[in-house]
Amino acid sequence: MELKNVGRVVSRAWEYGQDKLLNLRSQTQLLFPSVLGMPIRGPLVQFYRNDEKFETRLSLVNYMSYFSPDEAITQNYSLTTYDPSGRRLGRKTLPLLPGQTRQENLATLMEGLVAEYGIFSVNTTYSPRYSGRIRFLGETSPQFMTLFIPKDGKSGPQMVHSHKRFEAWPVPPGASSRPSSCVEDLRELCRIDIFVLNSGPASVSGRILFNSLETKDTLLTLTFDVPGHGVRRLILDEKELGRFSAPASMRIEHNRMIQHRKPILFRTSRTGFVSCNHL
């Protein structure tokens, strides 16, 4: 077996083992919820930007009020922000009373503890931690949405969901290669910004391959090296986009099987409209 395949097997086994351990923890909590509290996934992770083009708004909900409306449960959300190098900037706790939703600028919520862009994590706990009448819910997961509000007055607001876990423990190296379902007609764009996230604490390197739809030939390769819990920004400007004569697909390769392997792509049309989706 080649060395890179050994790495892949180890990496997948690690991921499988980690999922099993988390599942075991969840099942144990459900056996003794009054002592250990109800199981809640997380923390989860997503990307923010806070620059001249976009502000990030975070939308949170006390989902327990909707899943189990006869229980008055407060949800305490905790938010942690990181800068592009993976340095932790700050942590805030935000209680959501029964029935509440909150939709606020992340920079305001974090009292300015944000960078130009980076990742943030979201966790939640219940207060009270347990009631017999919520046991039917089993493990729940924080509900949040990340909205990118444009500052140009012309683009539409953009939104991305997340159900990917923020990782505290490093994943061993092991190659991952994933074709994105995103096809871009690059001839119609004047700029692409791709933000590659690292949900884990160890650095990740890899590349994004732009391929011909017809022949699968690689037309352009962008490489990245992202520090633990960091973000790397990759830019294709008008000159580079001008090299493409047809739509292209993208393949994303990582050297570690981190949880969040879907970079966020912002496209700027030739008339200046910006929109985004994950890859």
Stretch of 57-65, 78-86, 87-95, 199-207 contacting another protein, by CB under 8 A? 57-65
Q: How far is CA 171 from CA 18, 54, 80, 199, 228, in A?
A: 10, 32, 21, 10, 11
| CB of 136 or CB of 169, closer to another protein | 136
**Total residues at the site for another protein (CB under 8 A)?**
65
Contact residue for another protein among 81, 121, 124, 140 (CB under 8 A): 140
Q: Is residue 105 at the binding interface for another protein, with CB under 8 A as the rule?
A: no
Check binding of 159 to another protein (CB under 8 A).
Answer: yes
Of 84-92, 146-154, 202-210, 235-243, the segment contacting another protein by CB under 8 A is 146-154
Q: What would the two tokens of residue 161 be?
A: 């969901």
Q: Which is nearer to another protein, 50 or 155 (CB)?
A: 155
- What is the torsion angle, in degrees rounded to the nearest 10, for the CA atoms of residue 244, residue 245, residue 247 and residue 250? -30
Instruction: Out of 1, 153, 169, 239, name the contact with another protein by CB under 8 A.
Output: 153
Instruction: Using CB under 8 A, pick the residue from 2, 52, 70, 111 that binds another protein.
Output: 70
Q: Which residues bind another protein (CB under 8 A)?
A: 59-63, 65-70, 97-103, 136-141, 143, 145, 147-148, 150, 153-161, 163, 179-183, 185, 188, 211-216, 247, 249, 267, 269-273, 275-279
